[in-house]
Structure 1
Amino acid sequence: MLEKRDYVDKIIKKAIKQTEKYKDIGELASYIPELANVNPDSFAFCLVTVDGEVFSYGESEKIFSIQSISKILSLIMALHDNDPISVFDKVGSEPTSYEFNSLVPITDKATNPFINAGAMTTASMVKGANVDEKFERILAYYKKLSSFEDAYLIKDIYESEMETTDRNRAIAYYLKSKDIFSDNPNDVLDLYIRNCSIATNVCALAKTGAVLANKGYKPKTKEKLLSKKEVQIIVSQMATCGMYENSGRYLMEVGIPSKSGVSGGILGVVPGVCGLGVYCPRIDKSGNSVRGIELFKILAKDLGFTIFIN
């Protein structure tokens, strides 16, 4: 558990101050036009303990699209609707050195659930009569997981991505050609893009992380949302595959299971302690928030958040 609130608050504020030198490093994800319209200097951070205590800083209520952090949701729902063996018969579980939107790490199946091909695969395993029903199930579950009842589909982001998603469309059709799924590839792609376009904020991310940190139980209410097996799968995949092709180096240098998105968000999990959420939209070439990584790196050291040292 964390130390006294004043102590934690002091450490976090100091860490945020130390990362100000990184606020101008990186670029916006301009290949998605709507993501190029955000304020590049935005910053927000939130920490939520497994007891439900909230520490928030900066523009903590600012809405942004969840992007690839939604791949956690697709994996969760796939695990809810299917047993783990069936899920990982369709998608692998190993890290990759290739970009998240590459076709290379697709042999018999996508390498892991956190590259685009893997998330399309898990999205195809979500049950529902049509895309609308599947998405409403995913959105409703995220509202419960994150305690963010205001989550919604950001229409401008969704439309912007659908207009510029030729590479992902190719991936969807390639997966269909490999018999990974039998659904219409356009429907699978549509659901995948909708998931990426969910509205969130850093506290919603941190509260989601707190559920994972709390063995699947919601802080305070103790409502069980995930089985221990599901938590084990999700957090281990975050640790090994959550930061795109830089996951191994990130795990070595930071040691916090995390999942990033190209909008500039990162969700982190410190098992037994807390969930973390950060938003800073300038990203590196791999798609990870530059300042967000540096903040997590400092907190891992100063608050002992790395999973490798007790």
Structure 2
Amino acid sequence: MMDLIETERILKLAIKNSENLKCEGEVASYIPELANVDQDNFGVSLTTTEGETVSLGDDKFKISIQSISKVIDLIMALEDVGAEKVFSKVGTEPTEYKFNSLIPIEEKVVNPFLNAGAITTSSLISGSDVINKFNRVMKKVSELSNGDEVTFLEEVYKSEMRTTDRNRSIAYYLKSIGIIEGNAEEILDLYVRGCSIGLNVRQLSTIGAVLANGGRSLDNKVQLVEKEVVKTTLALMATCGMYEESGKYLIEVGFPSKSGVGGAILGIIPGKCGVCTYSPRLDESGNSIRGKKVLAEISKTLDLNIFI
């Protein structure tokens, strides 16, 4: 078990040591509603596989999870249609290209954490219509975050739908070459709805802890995600979760993570804990600058690197 008093001390120190970065980077203003957040917000939360949580800063602020939703999309697609079907359409390799790139799309999308990959996995989620499918997504997120209230950030959704021309072009291109089946507009709508889910760092670190616990609830009573699905998801988070920075990040931080342009980074340390940081100023790859710094420091100080 982790010493929570010592963990809190280390988190406070990591926050202090990252203050010089609080004004570096820019928020994701290409989604207008995301530009309205306080750019100096910062929160961090760590939840152990025993269900104990330490959180500091803006830990109740509902963050637009954006691309962290790709983790949920992948989990649900794997559970709904199986790995063979998913990976007939989406690959498993890292890429040097940006998260919203069209370049890597040929017979299949390079990996599920590009926008094209997540639009594809969204197309594989079962349900009678968009609302039914999204209700299933919200239910899954609620289960993984210990039954806490999950918020749909409708203004973020509307803002993103008005400005998502590039993702719309990706969806229609995927449809044209047969990677996605069904209505491209409805699939895009589901994908954007997932990006517009609002969670705080405590909820996100709880989701991370469940995945760190092999997909079992933190009271160990319920298998919320199949163990094989967890294994696949964490492997892809490790290699692809931080976009074209994934290799460098894995060297510096050393555990599976997934970022979102809302400013959150979710990290998972198998068998130990989930951790989430929130700072909305991003680097050119779309990853939180201050969040990366804090995660690197606590990884080193708390000995969380999975490779040593």
Do they fold alike, i.e. is TM over 0.5?
A: yes
Question: What is aligned with 2:26?
Answer: 27
Q: Report the alpha carbon displacement of residue 221 of structure 1 after superposing the two structures with TM.
A: 4.6
Structure 1 residue 210 corresponds to structure 2 residue 201:
no
Change (3 A) 1:258 1:97: same
5+ residue gaps in structure 2? none
Measured on the aligned residues, the alpha-carbon RMSD in Å equals 0.9
Question: What is aligned with 1:288?
Answer: 287
2:152 match: secondary structure? coil
Measure, in 1, the Cα distance between the counterparts of 2:4 and 2:115.
Answer: 39
Question: What is aligned with 1:116?
Answer: 115
Amino acid at match of 1:229: E
Q: Report the alpha carbon displacement of residue 272 of structure 1 after superposing the two structures with TM.
A: 0.6
Measure, in 2, the Cα distance between the counterparts of 1:56 and 1:152.
Answer: 20
Question: Structure 1 length normalisation: TM-score?
Answer: 0.98
Question: What is aligned with 1:12?
Answer: 11
Q: Report the alpha carbon displacement of residue 306 of structure 1 after superposing the two structures with TM.
A: 0.8
Measure, in 2, the Cα distance between the counterparts of 1:292 and 1:22.
Answer: 10
Query: For the Cα contact (< 8 Å) 2:99–2:114, is it kept in 1?
Result: yes
Amino acid at match of 1:285: E
Measure, in 1, the Cα distance between the counterparts of 2:240 and 2:132.
Answer: 29
Structure 1 residue 88 corresponds to structure 2 residue 87:
yes
Q: Which moved more, 1:16-25 or 1:6-15?
A: 6-15
In the TM superposition, what whole-angstrom CA distance separates every residue of 1:10-62 from its partner, at most 9, and x where no partner exists?
A: 11111111111111111010110000000000011000000001001001011
Question: What is aligned with 1:303?
Answer: 302
1:296 match: secondary structure? helix
Amino acid at match of 1:143: S
Q: Report the alpha carbon displacement of residue 158 of structure 1 after superposing the two structures with TM.
A: 0.4
Measure, in 2, the Cα distance between the counterparts of 1:15 and 1:121.
Answer: 37
Measure, in 2, the Cα distance between the counterparts of 1:146 and 1:104.
Answer: 35
In the TM superposition, what whole-angstrom CA distance separates every residue of 1:226-276 from its partner, at most 9, and x where no partner exists?
A: 122111101011100000111111011111210000010011001110000
Change (3 A) 1:29 1:183: same
Structure 1 residue 145 corresponds to structure 2 residue 144:
yes
Query: For the Cα contact (< 8 Å) 2:67–2:261, is it kept in 1?
Result: yes
In the TM superposition, what whole-angstrom CA distance separates every residue of 1:146-192 from its partner, at most 9, and x where no partner exists?
A: 12532122110000000000000000001001101221111110000
1:306 match: secondary structure? coil
In the TM superposition, what whole-angstrom CA distance separates every residue of 1:271-300 from its partner, at most 9, and x where no partner exists?
A: 110000111000101000000000000011
Residues paired across the two proteins, number: 308
Query: For the Cα contact (< 8 Å) 2:266–2:277, is it kept in 1?
Result: yes
Query: For the Cα contact (< 8 Å) 2:257–2:267, is it kept in 1?
Result: yes
Measure, in 2, the Cα distance between the counterparts of 1:252 and 1:149.
Answer: 33
Question: What is aligned with 1:223?
Answer: 222
Query: For the Cα contact (< 8 Å) 1:44–1:280, is it kept in 2?
Result: yes
In the TM superposition, what whole-angstrom CA distance separates every residue of 1:194-246 from its partner, at most 9, and x where no partner exists?
A: 00000111011100000110011111253211122111101011100000111
Question: Structure 2 length normalisation: TM-score?
Answer: 0.98
Q: Report the alpha carbon displacement of residue 82 of structure 1 after superposing the two structures with TM.
A: 1.1
Measure, in 2, the Cα distance between the counterparts of 1:64 and 1:86.
Answer: 32
Question: What is aligned with 2:260?
Answer: 261
Amino acid at match of 1:193: V
Measure, in 2, the Cα distance between the counterparts of 1:155 and 1:103.
Answer: 27
Q: Report the alpha carbon displacement of residue 93 of structure 1 after superposing the two structures with TM.
A: 0.7
2:119 match: secondary structure? helix
5+ residue gaps in structure 1? none
1:17 match: secondary structure? helix
Query: For the Cα contact (< 8 Å) 2:120–2:180, is it kept in 1?
Result: yes
Measure, in 2, the Cα distance between the counterparts of 1:181 and 1:45.
Answer: 37
1:98-137 equivalent positions in 2, closer than 5 A:
98-137=97-136
Q: Report the alpha carbon displacement of residue 7 of structure 1 after superposing the two structures with TM.
A: 1.7
2:265 match: secondary structure? strand
Query: For the Cα contact (< 8 Å) 1:45–1:56, is it kept in 2?
Result: yes
2:234 match: secondary structure? helix
Query: For the Cα contact (< 8 Å) 1:148–1:204, is it kept in 2?
Result: no
Question: What is aligned with 1:52?
Answer: 51
Query: For the Cα contact (< 8 Å) 1:114–1:242, is it kept in 2?
Result: yes
1:265-284 equivalent positions in 2, closer than 5 A:
265-284=264-283
